[in-house]
């Protein structure tokens, strides 16, 4: 089968890597892919949100399964357009994708379906928003309604901080259209957990849980990023927690979407906070997490392709044969100096042939330049992943690998997965 993977990050490289291990796979195309996917699959120069280009390509090449990586592809309606051609798509249509692309939509859906989530209110005017924040002493999360690549959330500790965030979004319009509606949420405390599940719109099959590290700097300091690393499985999860999340979060969400006419096929990601009063949903994503995919997929023993295909066709078994490696996986992101702010690109990358044994490097912001070889081309450049018998051993190997990557300004967090020591 010919598989089209839409996107260009390390998540998509991990998906391509996993698909290449399937007997069902004849060829993998990545649109547009990166310097890593180009070496193992076929990169095609079509942007992830170029609906017309992707449709033409998929029809011409006889694509038998399309996999949507980034939210931009979901929000552009790539899934709907390919499904109109009867191509099985692993990834929701634009309607079901609102569970990620509109935080107000997601919060209303959670209220209606009785899914545990922090108390909230939706605002389009600054004054009532400021009042709501002041009543909570400024301990609120201020969230832009629309997609903002991880930059749309400010977790405030004081009324001044909350008011500044409200003013930035609603008055200065710092995120443009994405920030014209705000969600304010009570601020909670606790460790976070990412639970991703395959679904065909009815059945929900959880994958191994993961935890990502969103802040740029060691010790959870600095600005939020797309994710600086992840590990799986996280330590100290209560017995039965994942089953509980399936029954109280993922199944009701999928059922509610279906009731509203939006059948969800693909991977649904619940971002949870484990509070003293139980888990609460902070956000949904309509796709694999990045960097979660880079640590979850290498732990999966089973063939992913038939699973994605049956989810895409609406025929996922209620308990398919999912086998997992007992080993733990730790993924460390190597980023460009300055990310998530401004950074420079185009630097040659060295050291990739000197990885410790069994360490996998998934590319993100890389590309091949004729005559120069592999150069940096983005903020998150690579995810270095190690599987070992324990989290500390996996962390040590992943860090050793990350330390061997060389380009000017390269940085990574040395404390990914550290909490379990």
Q: Which residues bind ligand GLY (CB under 6 A)?
A: 212, 227, 285, 289-290, 292
Binds ligand AMP (CB under 6 A): choice among 153, 204, 205, 386: 153
CB of 127 to ligand GLY, least distance (A): 31
Binds ligand AMP (CB under 6 A): choice among 155, 237, 322, 418: 155
CB of 6 to ligand GLY, least distance (A): 15
DSSP notation for 149-199: TT-SEEE-SSHHHHHHHHIIIIIS-TTGGGGSSEEEEE---S-EEEEEEEE
* Piece of 33-41, 180-188, 364-372, 401-409 that binds ligand AMP (CB under 6 A): 180-188
Binds ligand AMP (CB under 6 A): choice among 11, 143, 395, 404: 143
The CA distance from 270 to 253, in Å, is 10
CB of 219 to ligand AMP, least distance (A): 14
Binds ligand AMP (CB under 6 A): choice among 18, 130, 211, 214: 214
Binds ligand AMP (CB under 6 A): choice among 118, 146, 226, 365: 118
Tokens 């997965």 locate to: 417
> What order of strands is seen across the sheet that includes strand 211-212?
211-212, 229-232, 328-335, 380-388, 360-363
Pairs from 242-246 (Cβ < 8 Å, separation ≥ 24): 242/195, 242/206, 242/209, 243/206, 244/279, 245/195, 245/206, 245/270, 245/272, 245/279, 246/195, 246/197, 246/204, 246/206
* Piece of 25-33, 81-89, 184-192, 405-413 that binds ligand AMP (CB under 6 A): 184-192
Selection from ligand GLY, ligand AMP, none that 212 binds (CB < 5 to 8 A by kind) is ligand GLY
Give 356's contacts (C-beta < 8 A, 6+ positions apart): 386, 397, 400, 401
Reported as type and span, the H/E element at residue 231 is strand 229-232
CB of 228 to ligand AMP, least distance (A): 12
Smaller CB distance to ligand AMP: residue 192 or 218?
192
Binding residues for ligand AMP restricted to 265-304, rule: CB under 6 A: 271, 282-283
The CA distance from 198 to 201, in Å, is 9
Q: Which stretches of the chain bind ligand AMP, using CB under 6 A?
A: 118, 141, 143, 153, 155, 185, 187-188, 192, 214, 271, 282-283
């Amino acid at each position: 089968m010919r598989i089209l993977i839409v996107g260009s990050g390390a998540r998509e490289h991990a998906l391509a890597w996993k698909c290449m291990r399937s007997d069902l796979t004849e060829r993998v195309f990545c649109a547009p892919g990166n310097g890593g996917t180009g070496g193992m699959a076929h990169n095609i120069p079509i942007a992830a949100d170029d609906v017309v280009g992707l449709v033409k390509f998929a029809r011409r090449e006889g694509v038998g399964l399309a996999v949507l990586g980034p939210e931009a592809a979901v929000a552009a309606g790539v899934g709907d357009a390919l499904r109109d051609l009867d191509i099985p798509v692993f990834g929701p249509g634009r309607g079901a994708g609102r569970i990620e692309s509109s935080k107000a939509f997601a919060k209303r859906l959670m209220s209606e379906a009785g899914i545990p989530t922090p108390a909230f209110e939706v605002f389009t005017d600054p004054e009532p928003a400021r009042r709501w924040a002041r009543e909570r002493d400024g301990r609120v999360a201020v969230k832009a309604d629309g997609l903002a690549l991880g930059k749309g959330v400010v977790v405030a500790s004081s009324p001044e901080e909350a008011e500044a965030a409200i003013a930035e979004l609603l008055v200065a319009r710092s995120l443009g259209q994405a920030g014209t509606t705000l969600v304010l949420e009570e601020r909670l405390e606790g460790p976070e957990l990412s639970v991703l599940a395959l679904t065909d719109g009815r059945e929900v099959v959880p994958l191994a849980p993961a935890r990502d590290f969103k802040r740029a700097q060691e010790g959870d300091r600095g600005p939020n990023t797309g994710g600086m690393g992840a590990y799986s499985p996280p330590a100290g999860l209560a017995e039965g927690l994942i089953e509980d999340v399936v029954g109280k979060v993922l199944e009701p969400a999928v059922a509610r979407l279906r009731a509203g006419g939006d059948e969800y096929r693909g991977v649904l990601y619940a971002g949870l906070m484990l509070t003293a009063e139980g888990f609460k949903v902070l956000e949904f994503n309509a796709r694999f997490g990045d960097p979660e995919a880079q640590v979850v997929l290498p732990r999966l023993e089973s063939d992913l392709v038939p699973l994605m295909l049956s989810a895409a066709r609406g025929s996922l078994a209620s308990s398919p044969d999912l086998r997992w490696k007992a080993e733990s996986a730790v993924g460390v992101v190597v980023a460009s100096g300055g990310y998530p702010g401004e950074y420079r690109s185009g630097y040659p990358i060295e050291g990739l042939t000197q990885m410790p044994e069994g360490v996998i490097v998934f590319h993100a912001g890389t590309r091949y330049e004729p005559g120069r070889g592999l150069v940096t081309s983005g903020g998150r450049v690579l995810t270095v992943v190690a599987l070992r018998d324990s989290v500390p051993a996996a962390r040590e190997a992943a860090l050793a690998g990350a330390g061997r990557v060389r380009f000017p300004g390269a940085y990574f967090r040395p404390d990914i997965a550290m909490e379990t020591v």
